[in-house]
Chains A and B, each alone.
Chain A
């Protein structure tokens, strides 16, 4: 460690004073990067990472992010820094701008692994905890023997408990595969890795081959078996979570339909297109933000939700006023008219935005995942679940506690009675349809985060939405909720057993059988509303 530090200080001095006139192994290695040849780059990374030069980290970091540029003619290599400034990679001197002939040094996956391993070694002592953790993780994966002294040094200095565990695991991984490590060390390493207990630990232990001492191989095999049985339990939990997540997507897509079809009784085949309009609204909002206010990108969805509600709601009201109100009580024509309408809307969007997918980005708070025990929960799914439940509660409260909600229920339950009580029924019809469509639009905002934003977006959800509403019981929001989650969870438990295709078929068959038995769904409405 001391020697390492000394070399570090020395190289600092060298860079500060001797600077550009020196052509050591480091400078040669940097020049090699300019060849843009994969094996040359690999060699150069090794030399640079072990050089102890303070520029090593910036160079390799830039290489990873494709910010490292090289000029094949002059063999000069440049780093484009995050702030847009350019420096010479060999000397650290600032450069006005990149020469035109310079191009980014290319990587392939093998090199990316080398880069990650090198970066891991270089950042083990970083003051930032997250960087240290990432470094320990990449050392764990690469388990390069050469990094062992650095890992041990870092371990001695580390005060944070999480980082300490991670470093311990990294050290264990190295020792396990180090040919001259003692059997005691190796057994201890197996125990440490086994305690980690996740899939990567299992992968590493299964990798222990016949060249290891018998006791170590045995311990590793036992470790694999124990991790496997723990993971099997976790995978059930994970399936349940996937089911909830799928259920929330189904619920979100169906909840608008539960109003237009469930409450109003309109077979609305254009429901999916309302969802699509919501998704395209998100796209337009993000496009405006990208070009005008790039700093606000993380708020794009918050802005898109009310806008999508207004856009889809307005289109819904327009449809109701211009088409559907002439067709009340005639389900067949409504079906045909709204189906035609859905094709018209799709083609209109196709003409306006083009037939290809549009890019809707995930804001940073919706990207990535976190580990809960031994299962991975992705943020976007978690947010969608919360969002769906919020929409559901708000909708329920609106129907129950506002006067519009009261009027809606009155009109759908007994139109003539409501009319004679002075309720403007046609106005209420339009608003109800607008509300259902608006909620479909909101669903589009959320779905744009997990699916394609293309003119066909709505089509893929329309069947599922009808399935959920019919299964849950027409005219009952709670039924829709229970129906969506039941179908979601059933689907996700069937999928690992039967596969995605058969699983979907099995669900459809089950629903057909169920509807035979209970034609009105899970929660049938009772009383006078049924006859209406």
Chain B
């Protein structure tokens, strides 16, 4: 078999090489959306995947930034100039994220970039933002353990999502046994490490914690759901903490529903399931399962109702849902606008220095503030899935929770803080009073 293929390569390459070349050209073209700009505008880069596996989540965020720019321009833009979006498509391809980021900063000369979803894409663009000294706003909940001068994290750190959710289950549902189920990559692994340490500090025995990882896009959940059922039959109240990523959630919840695991028996609290993911599901068997976020579409505040109305009008879709990372972009965008107007310049150094301390209202009635560690304060909500695919908020933190760049639960990071105002350092050790610098 091998030899015959080799033979084919030899004869065919000379004859129809154009075909491969043409295919490559077409592929290259589809990802290309360039932008020419006039000088009297401020350019804003949008670095979200519009094709490939992550398009499902990231396309909405691109639309959100376009919507926000549109609104801002209606108000007269920033510093008397109109804002102009430069949209690129990194196509769910991590190295391409770095390339496109470089293109945005050097070729298009954008003042700021809003983008990335997965942690690996953020890690991939980090060196570019450092080298070229630009600003990235990152809107997704993530595993923490990072604080960079050029990045502003508007999504939740683990202490703003995972830990309050576990606290809620312990208090309200009296959960004693824990299944930590996640997709096999950095965010679930780090979050579960933090949660495991936290649960043990609360006196949960090793035997009462089950950790399970599955590959990306896992679709056959029969065994794992049966395992969870078995684990839950030890006579103690059991809950599942799910860091299962996007696409794999639908078959997971379908299997839960079909095997008859109800939220009243074994509740599942998820950190990556929002309104958008539930849109592809029949939610009736899932009523009562939980999600922890800093924003829910169903929260009734004047700001949120106004936002939803304008968003649906902008997208011309009266059913278009909103979600947590969108709200993070709203907050981040408004903070950036305020900081720019404060220093009357889009110069990255000036804006980076002006951002900590900047406040912007969030959509749920509070005012979020950018902290010196480049994370923000956010309220934490726990919602239960309703039959209509929305969430019913059953718990809310009293105050806004400040985001921890470094987890207090892990040995390696409990003494570290990020402080870009006083210490000018992202990983300052408060015990030894030393900045670890970029080497760590």
Contact = CB atoms under 8 A, between A and B. Distances in A.
A347 interface: yes
A376 B259 contact: yes
A291 interface: no
Contacts of B233: 199-200, 202-203, 206
Interface string B262-286: 0111010000000011011110010
B392 A330 contact: no
A357 B280 contact: yes
A379 B236 CA distance: 29
Contact of A501 (B16, B213, B235): B213
Interface string B208-228: 000011110111101110110
A38 B392 CA distance: 13
Nearest to B247: A452
A333 B226 contact: no
A330 B27 contact: no
Nearest to B382: A108
A314 to B, nearest CB: 23
Nearest to B387: A66
Given A359-B281, A501-B215, A337 B250 contact: no
Interface stretch (A210-218, A361-369, A402-410): A361-369
B263 A356 contact: no
A204 B8 CA distance: 66
Given A116-B264, A379-B258, A452-B280, A333 B12 contact: yes
A465 B184 CA distance: 23
Contacts of A235: 226, 230
B139 to A, nearest CB: 17
A456 interface: yes
B213 A499 contact: yes
Contacts of B276: 356
A336 B23 contact: yes
A519 B1 contact: yes
B5 interface: yes
Contacts of B38: none
Interface residues of A, number: 76
Given A340-B27, A378-B258, A500 B214 contact: yes
Interface string A338-361: 011001101100100011111101
Interface string A86-120: 00000000000000000000111110110010000
Contact of B218 (A361, A456, A500): A500
Nearest to A361: B282
B232 interface: yes
B204 to A, nearest CB: 17
A108 B172 contact: yes
A96 B176 CA distance: 48
Contacts of A322: none
Interface string B284-327: 01001010000000000000000000000000000000000000
A333 B20 contact: yes
A333 B51 contact: no
B263 A203 contact: no
Contacts of A455: 55
A329 B12 CA distance: 9
A246 B19 contact: no
A109 B280 contact: no
A454 B258 CA distance: 21
Interface stretch (A48-56, A237-245, A303-311): A237-245
Given A108-B384, A203-B232, A239-B223, A347 B247 contact: no
Contact of B23 (A66, A337, A356, A358): A337
Contacts of A460: 217, 219
A453 interface: yes
Nearest to B321: A356
Contacts of B30: 343, 347
Contact of A504 (B59, B215, B392): B215
A492 interface: yes
B19 to A, nearest CB: 5
A333 B229 CA distance: 49
A332 interface: yes
Main secondary structure of the interface of A (DSSP, over half): helix
A337 B19 contact: yes
Contacts of A519: 1
B250 A206 contact: no
A460 B50 CA distance: 19
A329 B282 contact: no
B56 interface: yes
B122 interface: no
A70 to B, nearest CB: 14
Given A368-B258, A456-B247, A460-B217, A199 B229 contact: yes
Contacts of B260: 368-369, 376
Contacts of B279: 356-357, 359
B30, B213, B218, B223 interface centre (most CB from chain A within 10 Å): B223
Contacts of A40: none
A492 B226 CA distance: 12
Interface in B1-15: 1, 5, 8-9, 12-13
Contacts of A336: 19-20, 23
Interface in B83-102: none
Interface in A481-495: 492, 495
B219 A350 contact: no
B394 interface: yes
Contacts of B26: 340, 344
B173 interface: yes
Contacts of B345: none
A242 B172 contact: no
A246 B16 contact: no
Contacts of A453: 280
Contacts of B1: 519-520
Contacts of A205: 235
A496 interface: yes
B8 A330 contact: yes
Contacts of B173: 109-110
20 contacts: A66-B386, A106-B392, A110-B173, A112-B263, A112-B288, A116-B264, A202-B235, A245-B222, A327-B16, A331-B5, A340-B27, A343-B30, A359-B279, A367-B258, A369-B259, A450-B219, A451-B251, A459-B217, A500-B215, A519-B1
Smallest CB-CB A-B distances: 6 pairs? A357-B280, A206-B235, A207-B235, A199-B233, A340-B23, A203-B233
Interface of A: 38, 66, 106-110, 112-113, 116, 141, 199-200, 202-207, 231, 235, 238-239, 242, 245-246, 249, 327, 329-333, 336-337, 339-340, 343-344, 346-347, 350, 354-359, 361-362, 367-369, 376, 378-381, 450-456, 459-460, 492, 495-496, 499-501, 504, 519-520
Interface of B: 1, 5, 8-9, 12-13, 16, 19-20, 23, 26-27, 30, 50-53, 55-56, 59-60, 172-173, 184, 212-215, 217-220, 222-224, 226-227, 229-230, 232-236, 247, 250-251, 254-255, 257-260, 263-265, 267, 276-277, 279-282, 285, 288, 290, 384, 386-387, 392, 394
Given A242-B223, A331-B5, 5 more contacts: A329-B8, A450-B219, A452-B247, A456-B247, A496-B223
